[in-house]
Structure formats: C-alpha cells, structure tokens
Structure 1
Amino acid sequence: MIRVVVVEEMGLLRTALCAALSSEEDIEVVAEVTGMAELPALVRRHRPDVVLVDLAPDAPDPVEVVAEITGAVPDTAVLAMGRRWSQRIVGDLLAAGVRGLVGKDASLEALVGAVRELAAGGKVIDADAAVTALRPTSGPLTRREVEVLRVAAEGLPLKEIARRLYLAHGTVRNHLSAIMRKTGARNRMEAVWRARRDGWM
C-alpha cells in the first residue's frame, strides 16, 4: 500500500484529491494538511511514501520545507503540483530533493501514475515544467523594481528599504505598488514568492 500525505490549502480541492487518491486500491491517504508549516512534523510521524504538495501562490516559499523533509526522511518522495513553472523554481525544488513535478491541469490518471512512479523510486517531471524551465524569461519587472523586491524580501520596513537603496520613501512605495500590480500579489512576501517562482528575480 502506498502511503500518501496531501498538502492543499483549499478545503474543497483537498477533499477531492484525498477522495480520488483513496479510491485507488493501492493508495492510502494517511494525513492531509492545509499548509507547509505543519508538514515536517507530520511526515516524521507518518513516514509516508509520497507527499503531494500544492504550490499555492500565496504560500511561503516551499523549498526550505521540502529540503527539511527530504533530509530528515529521505525515503519519502515529494511530488509538487504547480500552475506555472520557471527555471528558478524548478531548479530550486529539484535541488531540495523533489522527485516529481506535475501540472495542476494534469489528469487524475497522470497524477495517480506519478504517485506510483515516485513510490517505486522513480522520478516524474511534467513536460510543461521542463520546457518552461528551460525557456528564459525577463518578466514584467524593471531592474529597479527587482532591486526593491530583493531588499523587501528581507522583511525590512519601508524606511530601511529606502535607506539601503538610496531612494526616497515615496519612490520605494511607488515601486512596491507597481510590483504588487504586476505580480498580482496581495502583499510583499507573496510578490517575492511569485517573482522567484516565475524566475523574475
């Protein structure tokens, strides 16, 4: 029996994923969780064969958590689901130990097949993820906006960002507003995550 942990923040989708996977004779969903913070402890407790992680755009950067899991429980394979891929996020996830990448538009058959392949010790890389990751993209952010976002990623207040970059407060505020608009993010950390995911910084 393949033991699976499902990480999905949206309740309806999480329920559907768990039900679909559990309907397979050789798959058992041993736990489900809404976010990455609880995942390492959950994996240590249940020792699943596969962890299915939805890379939600407003979730914290998953790479550090994935690296912790694969380092602590190397027999557990991580399968990441994503809507958009970039060279950076694919490279970071694979370097952290992710063994599978599937698109959110994948069929249930493809998802189940990926779970089985990872449980058997194999790897699965979605074709779109591979192609997109190899296609360089400059993104919509200007050079200055990328500089502002890199400093903002440190969690610094507006005043410190302005001081660090030798800019006026109003200029930094305008850059951050433009960044939010271009990335579709609701806050700075989400903007950082999206920009890193899409290879814009």
Structure 2
Amino acid sequence: MIRVVVVEEMGLLRTALCAALSSEEDIKVVAEVTGMAPVPALVRRHRPDVVLVDLAPDVPHPVEAVAGITGAVPDTAVLVMGRGWSQRMVGDLLAAGVRGLVGKDASLAALVGAVRELAGGGKVIDAAAAVTALRPTSSPLTRREVEVLRAAAEGVPLKEIARRLYLAHGTVRNHLSAIMRKTGARNRMEAVSRARRDGWM
C-alpha cells in the first residue's frame, strides 16, 4: 500500500485530491494538512511513501519548506504540483531533493501515475517543467514593466502609478497586461511574487 500525505491549502481541492487518491486500491492518504509548517513532523510520524505538495505561488520560501520535508525523512519522495515553473525554481527544488514535478493542469491519471512512480523509487518531471529548466534565465520583462511592477508591489493604484512614472493610465494598464502574460500570473500580487522569486525585479 502506498502511503501519501497531501499538503493543500484550498479545502475543496484538498478534499478532492484525497478522495481521488484514496479511491485507488493501492494508495492510502494517511494525513492531510493546509500549510507547510507542520509537514516535517507529520512526515516523521506517518512515514509516508510520497508527500504531495501544492506549491502555491505566495509561499514565502518554497524551496526551504520542501527541503524541510526531504530533510525530515530522506526516504520519503516529494511530489510538487505547480501552476508555473521557473528555471531557478525547478533547479532549486530538484537540488532540495524533490523527486517529482507535475503541473496543476495534469490529469488525475497522470497524478496517480506520478505517485506510483515515486513510490517505486523513480522520478517524474512534467514536460513544462523540463522545458522551463532548459530556457535562458534572462528576464522577459522590459525596464519599464519592472518599474510598473515595483510600483504595483507597493499597492499603488493605477492612476498613481501613471502619475509617478509620467505615463498615461492606459499605458500602465497595457504594461500590467503584458506583465501578467509574461509571468503567467492571475493578478498583480501574484505577478510581483513570481517576479521576485525569479529575480526579475
């Protein structure tokens, strides 16, 4: 029986993941938790084969958090789910001992397959993460986009950003749209988080 711990802060998604994994004859979810802090202790207590971690973009120190899991019980495989990968993030996670990376848009069958592969001692890196790891590290943001994003990081309204940078309101809006597209973020704060994580600002 493959023993799994699920780390997911969103209640509905966590419940769905646990139910889907538990429905497999060879998989048992032994614990579920919302945040990263209690995970090392949980792992030591339950000794799971796999820890499934949904790595939210706003986790302040994701690599350190994951390293805490791999350091607690080295034999436990860590499978990280993510929405967007950066070259630095992929490299750092693998260096921290993560054995699996899977996109949040992966199918349930792919996720279950990854859990089984890791439990058997293998590694799984999804195509998007693998491609990202091979990309150049240069920032896709222009100098002006970085200026706009820095102002946005302070919580400054669009009109104030425009006034501060001597830009038209529409121009600021266009820059923010470009930033969202390039970072793959859903909102300004997520774009800030990702840009900081990847060293783009």
Sort the TM-score into its range (normalised by shorter chain).
0.7 to 0.9
Unaligned stretches of 5+ residues in structure 1: none
Residues 88 and 196 of structure 1 are in contact (CA less than 8 Å); yes or no, is this contact kept in structure 2? no
Distance verdict in 2 for CA 1:158–1:53, change over 3 Å: same
Distance verdict in 2 for CA 1:168–1:80, change over 3 Å: same
Q: How many residues align?
A: 201
> How much has 1:85 moved relative to structure 2?
0.9
> How much has 1:59 moved relative to structure 2?
2.2
Residues 5 and 50 of structure 2 are in contact (CA less than 8 Å); yes or no, is this contact kept in structure 1? yes
Residues 87 and 135 of structure 2 are in contact (CA less than 8 Å); yes or no, is this contact kept in structure 1? yes
> How much has 1:82 moved relative to structure 2?
0.8
Distance verdict in 2 for CA 1:131–1:114, change over 3 Å: same
The separation in 1 between residues aligned to 2:65 and 2:163, in whole angstroms, is 32
The separation in 2 between residues aligned to 1:96 and 1:7, in whole angstroms, is 17
Q: TM-score, normalised by structure 1?
A: 0.75
The separation in 1 between residues aligned to 2:92 and 2:154, in whole angstroms, is 19
Residues 43 and 72 of structure 2 are in contact (CA less than 8 Å); yes or no, is this contact kept in structure 1? no
Greater shift in the superposed pair: 44-53 or 187-196: 187-196
The separation in 2 between residues aligned to 1:3 and 1:119, in whole angstroms, is 9
Distance verdict in 2 for CA 1:65–1:169, change over 3 Å: farther
Residues 6 and 14 of structure 1 are in contact (CA less than 8 Å); yes or no, is this contact kept in structure 2? yes
Q: TM-score, normalised by structure 2?
A: 0.75
Residues 135-179 of structure 1: per-residue CA shift (max 9 Å, x gap): 125435456987999999999999999999999999999999999
Residues 137 and 200 of structure 1 are in contact (CA less than 8 Å); yes or no, is this contact kept in structure 2? no
Distance verdict in 2 for CA 1:85–1:45, change over 3 Å: same
The separation in 2 between residues aligned to 1:189 and 1:195, in whole angstroms, is 10
